[in-house]
Amino acid sequence: MSKTPFLTLASASAQLLEAMDAGEKAAVLALVSHPDGTRSGERVLVREGKLIGSFGDPVADEGARDLALKGLSGNVAVESGVYPLPLEEGGEASVYLELHHPSAEMVIVGAGHLAQPLCTLGALLGLRVRVLDDRPEFATRERFPEASDVRRVDFSDPFQEVKLHPWSHVLLVTRGHRYDFECLRKVLQHEVLPVYIGMIGSRRRVRATFGALLKEGFPREVLAHVRAPIGLDIGAETPAEIAVSVVAEIVEEWRGGSGRPLREVERVLERFTAEPEQNDGGTTDAGGGP
């Protein structure tokens, strides 16, 4: 019998990280016991509906793939854990299924003054933060201690190297409007757009950007997805203040708030507390008063 091309723990780990970085869900299946006695630790992986690696047994492979697809579909009955895996020659092995979903990330394009508080607040929200710049003296780990990834890229197409996915939050805050524009164009060429795309800029610059992109043929609905100028209107001026307004907008995107002051949304004082009693009549009960 030919040697089965199963995945080792290391090769499965590499495949898994690759899937996560590409924004895909993935399931890893590891044999934890097998009638042969020597096969535990052998792995296969399922990503994009496809089985990668093989247990060298068509029945086991099919069972593994089915189990993974059930788990990845969000079927609550199938969670990470140990399951029986029927084998071709009869009998069964035990397989440990582990489900993985890509993590939400913040991709900060431009490593200037604004990027630093953005990185801090993104990490605080639990996002995996990546910071990109074409200037090596700005794209340094020292400037972004909370970032998972800081790297020098070419702004003509940074997303060749740093793959975006549907859970990416892309913040275009480079030092030059032209770079923001070029990066935005690349972001909008993705088949599935990232959940949050924000670009900094004055009204005039944003208008020029949208005008140019419309002229290039980008549909209005696609441009409507871009948050430019970036952030909520809280009158922010300093980098820290602007960062607060940006992460507030990110939370609003997640949770679906209105972005308005809760005081105005709820109007508790006006709606639920009685006006002080007045003597001009009209609203008081008939016969009331001394």
Partner 1 sequence: MTNEDREIFEGILQAQAEGKPCALATVVSTRGSTPRKNGAKMLVDPAEGLIGTVGGGCGEAEVITAAGKALETGLPVIVEVDLTDDPLSWTGSVCGGLLRVFVEPIYPEGQEPNGE
Given its phi and psi angles, is residue 282 left (phi above 0), alpha (psi -120 to 50 degrees) or beta? left
Q: Which of 4, 22, 40, 208 binds partner 1 (CB under 8 A)?
A: 40
Establish if 10 lies at the interface with partner 1 (CB under 8 A). Answer: yes
Q: Which of 23, 53, 63, 102 binds partner 1 (CB under 8 A)?
A: 102
The rounded distance, in Å, linking the Cα atoms of 83 and 79 is 10
Residues 14 and 70: beta-carbon distance below 8 Å: no
As a dihedral over the C-alpha atoms of residue 259, residue 261, residue 264, residue 266, rounded to 10 degrees, the angle is 90
**Smallest distance from partner 1 to CB 14, Å:** 6
Q: Which of 9, 212, 251, 265 binds partner 1 (CB under 8 A)?
A: 9
Establish if 107 lies at the interface with partner 1 (CB under 8 A). Answer: no
The rounded distance, in Å, linking the Cα atoms of 117 and 240 is 6
**Smallest distance from partner 1 to CB 68, Å:** 14
* 79's tokens: 């969670």
Establish if 2 lies at the interface with partner 1 (CB under 8 A). Answer: no
The rounded distance, in Å, linking the Cα atoms of 183 and 122 is 20
Per CB under 8 A, which region of 38-46, 169-177, 191-199, 262-270 contacts partner 1? 38-46
The rounded distance, in Å, linking the Cα atoms of 167 and 105 is 6
b/e map 220-243, b = 16+ CB within 10 Å: eeebeebbbebbbeeebeebbebb
Per CB under 8 A, which region of 28-36, 107-115, 201-209, 225-233 contacts partner 1? 28-36
The rounded distance, in Å, linking the Cα atoms of 51 and 68 is 9
Establish if 24 lies at the interface with partner 1 (CB under 8 A). Answer: no
Per CB under 8 A, which region of 100-108, 156-164, 174-182, 267-275 contacts partner 1? 100-108
Draw the binding track, 186-225, toward partner 1 (x: CB under 8 A; -: no contact). Answer: ----------------------------------------
Chain residues that interact with partner 1, rule: CB under 8 A? 9-10, 13-14, 16-17, 20, 30, 32-33, 38, 40-41, 79-82, 96, 98, 100-103, 128, 148
